[in-house]
């Protein structure tokens, strides 16, 4: 009798173990199917900023402009020296030179306003589009100043990643 009870208990445990594992496996597979279904139903909407809208906002809002510059900003200026130091050009713009590369700093960034650049009588304008970047060049017709901007798209938002201010 004792042997029969032990066999019955053992059989019940084995049956329960396999039944529970099978149900657990089914629950997991249903769970995964539900998750995949739910994931495909809820498509993530990524806002992609239009470049022209960004550019207009960039030049008219100084706080927005600072927030969309990747500092220290790689660039160029015709008024600098080639040693590792923080310095200022003749207009007072601050920059930093390291490894013979020119960087604009955030602390003394001079806000660039479109009001000065929109006058087509004074400036010529060139825009080049790449896969995830725009390059814009403003050339002064009065005093040979050339401003060059490179903007890149990062996660659907545009950032200034290169700025050059040069005299020709």
- Smallest Cα–Cα separation from 73: which of 155, 156, 148, 126? 148
Q: Is the domain of 40 the same as that of 59?
A: no
Task: Give pTM, 2 decimals.
Answer: 0.62
Q: Which domain holds residue 73?
A: 51-167
pLDDT digits (tens, 9 = 90+) for 65-84: 999 998 888 887 655 544 44
Q: Is the domain of 74 the same as that of 17?
A: no
Q: Is the domain of 41 the same as that of 91?
A: no
pLDDT digits (tens, 9 = 90+) for 4-33: 555 555 455 554 545 554 444 444 444 444
Q: Is the domain of 15 the same as that of 62?
A: no
Cα of first residue to Cα of last residue in the chain, in angstroms, is 106
Residues 125 and 141: beta-carbon distance below 8 Å: no
Q: Is the domain of 65 the same as that of 110?
A: yes
Q: Is the domain of 33 the same as that of 1?
A: yes
């Amino acid at each position: 009798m004792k042997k029969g009870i032990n066999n019955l208990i053992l059989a019940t445990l084995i049956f329960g173990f396999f039944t529970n594992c099978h149900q657990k496996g089914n629950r997991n597979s249903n769970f995964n199917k539900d998750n995949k279904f739910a994931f495909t139903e809820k498509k993530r909407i990524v806002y992609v900023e239009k470049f022209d809208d960004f550019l207009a906002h960039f030049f008219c809002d100084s706080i927005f402009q600072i927030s969309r510059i990747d500092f220290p900003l790689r660039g160029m200026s015709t008024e600098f020296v080639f040693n590792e130091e923080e310095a200022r050009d003749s207009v007072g713009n601050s920059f930093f030179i390291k490894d013979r590369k020119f960087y604009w700093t955030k602390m003394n960034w001079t806000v660039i306003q479109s009001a000065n650049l929109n006058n087509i009588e004074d400036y010529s304008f060139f825009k080049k589009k790449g896969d995830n970047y725009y390059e814009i060049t403003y050339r002064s017709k009065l005093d040979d100043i050339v401003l060059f901007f490179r903007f890149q798209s990062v996660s659907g938002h545009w950032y200034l990643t290169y700025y050059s201010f040069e005299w020709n």
